């Protein structure tokens, strides 16, 4: 269920999710978006880019018991990598792992 870094420019709202592992993953993500259960990937990436300086290098979309989560990895200056868990429904930061975390959002 990994989106390739090059495919990150495509938001869910713009059409199919390129780079998902298989058709069923793609279909579930599309259905969740159409049902209003998740934000478009582009909206979530806007939040991440606003709050965490660096380059998004990996995105995973996970669904478990009607919970939808984007796991996003961000390469920050100095080479540290952050792993963010974002609630796909509303863009809320659920968790963060990494060293030397640079955050430019509200505390």
Buried b (16+ CB within 10 A) or exposed e, 48-70: beebbebebebbbbebeeeebbb
Range of the structural domain that residue 13 is part of: 2-97
56-98 pLDDT, tens digit per residue, is 999 888 888 889 999 999 999 889 999 999 999 999 999 999 8
Answer whether residue 23 is part of any domain. yes
Answer whether residue 107 is part of any domain. no
Answer whether residue 106 is part of any domain. no
Answer whether residue 25 is part of any domain. yes
Residue 20 corresponds to which tokens in the numbers above? 């998902």
Answer whether residue 83 is part of any domain. yes
Answer whether residue 102 is part of any domain. no
> Can you give the pTM of this predicted structure?
0.70
Answer whether residue 85 is part of any domain. yes
Q: How many angstroms separate the CA atoms of 74 and 83, rounded? A: 7
- 89: domain CATH number is 3.10.450.40
10-32 pLDDT, tens digit per residue, is 333 333 333 344 566 667 778 89
Answer yes or no: are the C-beta atoms of 58 and 2 closer than 8 Å: yes
Total of domains in the chain: 1
**10 exposure class (CB count in 10 Å sphere: 0-12, 13-18, 19+):** middle
């Amino acid at each position: 269920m990994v989106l390739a870094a090059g495919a990150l420019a495509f938001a869910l709202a713009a059409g199919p999710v390129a780079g998902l592992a298989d058709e069923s993953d793609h279909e579930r993500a599309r259905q969740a978006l159409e049902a209003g259960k998740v934000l478009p990937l582009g909206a979530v990436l806007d939040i991440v880019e606003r709050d965490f300086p660096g380059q998004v290098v990996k995105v995973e979309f996970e669904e478990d018991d009607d919970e939808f989560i984007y796991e996003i990895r961000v390469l920050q200056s100095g080479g540290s990598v952050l792993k963010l868990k974002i609630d796909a429904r509303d863009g809320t930061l659920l968790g963060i792992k990494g060293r030397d975390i640079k955050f430019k959002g509200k505390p």
